[in-house]
A and B are shown apart, each in its own frame.
Chain A
Amino acid sequence: MDNTSKLLRIENLQIYKGDTLLLSIEASVAAGEILTVMGPSGSGKSTLLSWLSGMLDPAFRASGKLLVGAQDITQTPSHLRRTALLFQDPLLFNHLSVSGNIEFGMQQGKSSSKKQRVLDALACVGLSGMEARAPKTLSGGQQARVALLRVLLNEPSVILLDEPFSKLDSQLRQATRELVFAQIRQRGLAAILVTHDQSDADAAGGRVINLSTTGADKQC
């Protein structure tokens, strides 16, 4: 596949902390593809995600370009990038119901059609009838699914996954992972998954960048 058809491209990225080079990456992700970035803590995985989402801490310095389709979004503010973040904590709002949390992610639109889409989406992930519940009353796996729907119904073009499965136990982990990956492929999103777990990388099935070898764009 040539680079022009890729949805997301990272060109010549180098991130420095002070004067030391933290990481150096060149990568591209096609629609429906999941790129996995692996590495031990401190290798700059989270820093990479901060840069991708436009929230790099001022302590770091970065050079390089980020393109979504043909558009250069390197200097675009976070909220205009359409790169949605999914954290390891579900971060659901306790003052909103399950459906309220999902609607928070959706674009403006007619309330009734939004409600219907939320109900359909909940049914898709096996959470029918949960829409009015308070997030606190849900199990960990259910909360993770609600957080996923909040991001998916936002209709981003890129999804950034920050160790989203690390807080789930192994049984749940596998099921949630399959659900997330299936949804990403089905919706044709470009996804970047940051993890330190090899089984996540295997399940993603895409290319893997290993950050422990400082910057080498290694293919598996």
Chain B
Amino acid sequence: MIIQPSFFTRWVSLSPRILISLLLVPVAAGLLGLILPAFGWLPALGENTINLRGFAAFFHTPGWTNMLGLSFFTSFISTLFAVILSILILGNYFNSRLLGHIQRILGPILVIPHAAAAIAIGFLIAPSGLIMRLFSPWLSGAELPPDVLLPNDPYGLSIILGLTLKELPFILLMALAAMQQNEIKQLINRQYKMALSLGYYPFTAFCKAVLPSLYPFMRLPIYAILAYSSASIEIPLILGPNSPPTLAVAVMQWFNDVDLSLRIKASAGALIQIALTLSVLLTWRLLEQCVKRFGFSTFTNGRRQYGDLCWKILTHTTTFLVLFFIVLALLGLVLWSFAGFWPFPNAYPDQLVSLHWNSALQQLPQTITNTVLVGITATAIALFFTLFALEAEQQHQTQLGSAASLMVYLPLLVPNVAFLFGIVWVKELLGVKAVFSAVVLGHLLFVMPYMFLSLAISYRKLDLRYAKVAASLGCSPFKVFYAVKLPQLLPPMLFSCALGLAVSFGQYLPTLLLGGGRINTLTTEAVAIASGASRRLSAVYVIIQILLPVVGFILAWLIPKLIFRPRQ
């Protein structure tokens, strides 16, 4: 296409570079601001020699092996569980309507912020939580809450539970999204039918004929989840042990310590965190290779079934348990938020009161305003750049190269404890005082990749003939963009905005660090009161945390219906 240069087209061709710089510069600066202090260079504290003091201090920390082990195994095992569960669900419900129902139930779980999910799960499994109450005293015989350390158990089992429940919907939905692309859908459907007609039992047919074609599409989401969970903060902070905690949580605590000299150790720890995340990824890669090498002969050994019935029953049971768990967690939140006096082992409160809601709603208006303002600003900026970057792709008829795509997702792959603290350090170094814009920038790093990811699919699927017809009728590129393309893109744009808002609402670490404690959002408040205070008040916070993004998605669904309502 020949495009005449105008302000619009020049701006459009610049925007991919701006978008990538907006993501790359902070991450790069953040990493730099981490490496220097990690090797002992921290002029603000009068430290300007290069040495390994930070690493030495790290390796003298009592229990540092436990920290590493906890981070490594909780992320690896939870991802493994989530992947196995996804395969069981996909395989046993392949081509069944149940899969659609499961997708609709699990979809909304995805937008629940990690902090909220962690708090809800913590309530559920606590000794005085809803599960124990349901089975007491008639089954467990307990008249008092049992004396076990749950959540926060030293083995990280609660963390594994929390991560698995949060990762399962993500992997499942990413796999389903791949399976619903026309080409792949046809291929795997036919391969499945072919295998069935050759006598393979359904689940075995799925594993031997469909999974090898499907797994490549699940690989990146799995890597993203491994990277995320090995360095996540919220879930280990709320559900994990305290002494020692996971590496990421420990690093955060050192950074936030009043003793500023701990920053050198923290920076070294953050670099070790990056190495740990890489080693988790490498171990997964190794596991893939092993499965490939030792599992390969099973493809051609002619066996038609491997206890397919057992797997089916196992899948029914675990799917039911997962759904039961989620429903119970949500129910528990609602009950706690209205509970008056609620002695153990009653499964239902003695009285329901609106006291906690009243007091929370009195405290919260400022917090909710902050949350929404930061969210809307970050989402608007991200939408602006994402749209122009995608328009640039279309005008130049090229897709973002793989290197550029990788940069868009960089903030999601690099452990965020690692670069966020570096950003804070650089910010202090430059003497930047702005709080609100720093928080928005921090959120942008996570909002933009998700919005780009979701909007790119629709933008690249646009039927370009409309644009060509409009151009042939004399419309300028700008007019084609806003009068032809944008109206066609309204529903996916709104969906992507709702996603952006949900991502922003859920951010904990960027808000905490870049806001310097001066901007509180629902998530930071919820985490702050989760550890102590009142379980009832926490429940109210978590419910509002869940409802806020849901409102966004409802609006995204409703607005196109109102605008495009057929006129009578």
* Residues of chain A having any CB pair with chain B under 8 Å: 53-55, 58, 77-85, 87, 89, 91, 93, 95-96, 100, 103-109, 111, 114, 150-151, 154, 156, 160
Contact = CB atoms under 8 A, between A and B. Distances in A.
A155 to B, nearest CB: 10
A87 B201 CA distance: 20
Contact of B197 (A108, A109, A160): A160
A154 to B, nearest CB: 5
Nearest to A103: B300
**Chain B CB within 10 Å, residue with most, of A84, A104, A109, A114:** A104
A55 B196 contact: yes
A96 B299 contact: yes
Nearest to A104: B300
Contacts of A104: 195, 198, 208-209, 299-300, 302
Nearest to B186: A89
A93 B212 contact: yes
A87 B194 contact: yes
Given A79-B205, A96-B299, A105 B190 contact: no
B212 A95 contact: yes
A184 to B, nearest CB: 16
Contact of B196 (A79, A107, A111): A79
Contact of A109 (B299, B302, B304): B302
Contacts of B299: 93, 95-96, 100, 104
A173 B197 CA distance: 24
Interface in B202-225: 202, 205, 208-209, 212-213
A53 B197 contact: yes
Nearest to A96: B299
B187 interface: yes
B304 A79 contact: yes
A108 B198 contact: no
Instruction: Determine which residue in A79, A93, A103 has the highest number of CB atoms from chain B within 10 A of its CB, and name it.
Output: A79
Given A100-B299, A103-B302, A87 B190 contact: yes
A91 B191 contact: yes
10 contacts: A53-B196, A53-B197, A79-B205, A93-B213, A95-B212, A96-B299, A104-B209, A105-B198, A109-B302, A156-B198
Contacts of A106: 302
Interface of B: 97, 187, 190-191, 193-202, 205, 208-209, 212-213, 299-304
Contacts of B193: 53, 55, 78, 85
A85 B301 contact: no
Contact of B302 (A58, A79, A89, A114): A114
A154 B208 CA distance: 16
A47 B565 CA distance: 37
Given A79-B202, A91-B187, A91-B191, A108 B303 contact: yes
A108 B302 contact: yes
Question: Which of B200, B202, B300: most chain A CB closer than 10 A?
Answer: B300
Contact of A78 (B97, B197, B303): B197
Contacts, number: 73
Q: Which 10 A-B pairs have the closest CB atoms?
A: A103-B300, A108-B302, A85-B197, A78-B196, A95-B212, A100-B300, A79-B196, A154-B198, A84-B197, A105-B198
A138 to B, nearest CB: 17
A79 B187 contact: no
B199 A154 contact: yes
Nearest to B196: A78
B306 to A, nearest CB: 12
Contacts of A96: 299-300
Contacts of A58: 97
A79 B201 contact: yes
B199 A108 contact: no
A89 B213 CA distance: 16
A111 B303 CA distance: 12
B283 to A, nearest CB: 22
Among B191, B193, B200: residue with most chain A CB under 10 A: B193
Contact of A107 (B97, B208, B302): B302
Nearest to A58: B97
Contacts of B205: 79
A126 to B, nearest CB: 23
Contacts of B212: 93, 95
Given A100-B299, A103-B300, A84 B198 contact: yes
A212 B160 CA distance: 59
A54 B198 CA distance: 12
A129 to B, nearest CB: 19
Contacts of A111: 301
Nearest to B197: A85
A185 to B, nearest CB: 21
Nearest to A150: B198
B477 to A, nearest CB: 40
B194 A108 contact: no
Nearest to A80: B199
A132 to B, nearest CB: 13
A64 B129 CA distance: 56
Contacts of B213: 93
Which of B196, B197, B303 has the most chain A CB within a 10 Å cutoff? B197
Contacts of A54: 196
A75 to B, nearest CB: 15
A79 B199 contact: yes
B225 to A, nearest CB: 24
Given A91-B194, A93-B212, A95-B212, A82 B199 contact: yes
A137 to B, nearest CB: 18
Contacts of A85: 193-194, 197
A139 to B, nearest CB: 20
Contacts of B187: 91
B200 A79 contact: yes
A214 to B, nearest CB: 26
A78 B208 CA distance: 16
B97, B194, B196, B303, most chain A CB atoms within 10 A: B194
A66 to B, nearest CB: 14
Nearest to B188: A91
A6 to B, nearest CB: 21
B3 to A, nearest CB: 38
Nearest to A50: B193
A90 B491 CA distance: 39
A202 to B, nearest CB: 27
A114 B208 CA distance: 19
B493 to A, nearest CB: 33
A150 B201 CA distance: 17
Given A78-B196, A107-B199, A154-B198, 18 more contacts: A53-B193, A78-B193, A78-B197, A80-B199, A81-B197, A85-B194, A87-B194, A89-B190, A91-B190, A91-B194, A95-B212, A96-B299, A96-B300, A103-B300, A104-B299, A107-B302, A150-B198, A160-B197
A160 B299 CA distance: 24
Contacts of A107: 199, 302
A23 B441 CA distance: 63
